[in-house]
Amino acid sequence: MDIKSRKTAPVGVFDSGVGGLTVAREIMRQLPNENIVYFGDTARVPYGSKSRNNIIRFSRQIVHFLQTKDVKAIVIACNTASALALDTIQEEIDIPIMGVIVPGARAAVRETRNGIIGVAGTEATIRSETYTKVIRSLRPDAKVIGQPCPLFVPLVEEGFAKHPITEEVIDIYLSSMKATDIDTMILGCTHYPLLRSRIIAYFGEKVHIVNPAYETAMDLKKVLEEQGILNDAGQPARYDFYVSDTAEKFTEFANSILPYDVAATRQINIEEY
């Protein structure tokens, strides 16, 4: 592909479902010229309770699918896949691919004063201790307190972000973390920013809540600039959405959180890739 077509080629963004839209939203805001192909693996969500082998297999299939769309770079907008599959996939492809964990950890290390950082994430993400490793590589004396919150994903996917039951689930998962001295907490699953205002209200002002999406979009910009493939064509960006299960529910959800009208989502059979 020549450099001009590489510039206008889309960025691939994927997640197990709707969570990655919180990252796509941030990319749309910070990089308004970039075309995006988004894939949500709605037939196989949640990833957080799956084994490493399956998370790698799913991620590999999605990357193959995105490559059929000639993407110039890929953002794994899923902490679970970033924690368990990024290293493996990075060695298999020759386009830039990045996850959300390094940007999230970096933002938290910058924000914390006392070095005590909470991480809420899926079971697989917390078990992998990837956040702990990355945070400690940046600040060796940091203390990291991880908490799996598996019910947050179905609550978000079912549109229960504002439901009273969510308050109770937040308290069940996060009360022990609230009782510690954390001054910074990472929303270590891309679904959780959709519960952000509830979590901010729960922790109060003492705890700074980090959404890795912001820093991830900044990193993407840097990588595209470094490679000379930032889209400067000045055309309105094009966004395409694909899922592995029924499209309607996803389209409705995407329309409720994106500042852009999602006309249609296409369903594909991801097992073919």
78 labelled catalytic: yes
213 is an interface residue for ligand DGL by CB under 6 A: no
* Nearest distance, CB of residue 23 and ligand DGL, angstroms: 9
Quick one: 16 or 265, whose CB is closer to ligand DGL? Answer: 16
Radius of gyration of the chain measured on its C-alpha atoms: 18
149 labelled catalytic: no
Binding region for ligand DGL (CB under 6 A) out of 106-114, 163-171, 183-191, 251-259: 183-191
Using CB under 6 A as the criterion, what x/- string covers residues 110-139 for binding ligand DGL? Answer: ------------x--x--------------
What do you get for the CA distance between the two ends of the chain, in Å? 22
Kindly give the residue spans of alpha helices, DSSP state H, lying in 123-244.
Answer: 123-128, 130-138, 152-157, 164-178, 196-203, 212-226
| CB count in 10 Å sphere of residue 42 | 23
* Nearest distance, CB of residue 191 and ligand DGL, angstroms: 5
DSSP symbol at 140: T
Q: Is 165 exposed, middle or buried (0-12, 13-18, 19+ CB in 10 A)?
A: exposed
78 is an interface residue for ligand DGL by CB under 6 A: yes
Quick one: 209 or 229, whose CB is closer to ligand DGL? Answer: 209
Binding region for ligand DGL (CB under 6 A) out of 73-81, 130-138, 163-171, 174-182: 73-81
Distance CA 140, CA 89 (A): 27
* Nearest distance, CB of residue 77 and ligand DGL, angstroms: 7
At which residue do the structure tokens 């729960």 appear? Answer: 202
Distance CA 188, CA 268 (A): 28
Which position's Cβ is nearest ligand DGL? 48
Nearest by Cα to 239 from 264, 215, 219, 212: 264
Distance CA 244, CA 256 (A): 20
Nearest by Cα to 241 from 43, 14, 47: 14
- Kindly tell me which residue out of 15, 34, 183, 219 binds ligand DGL, with binding defined by CB under 6 A: 15
99 is an interface residue for ligand DGL by CB under 6 A: no
22 is an interface residue for ligand DGL by CB under 6 A: no
Binding site for ligand DGL (CB under 6 A): 15-16, 19, 45-48, 78-80, 122, 125, 153, 189-191
Residues catalogued as catalytic: 78, 189
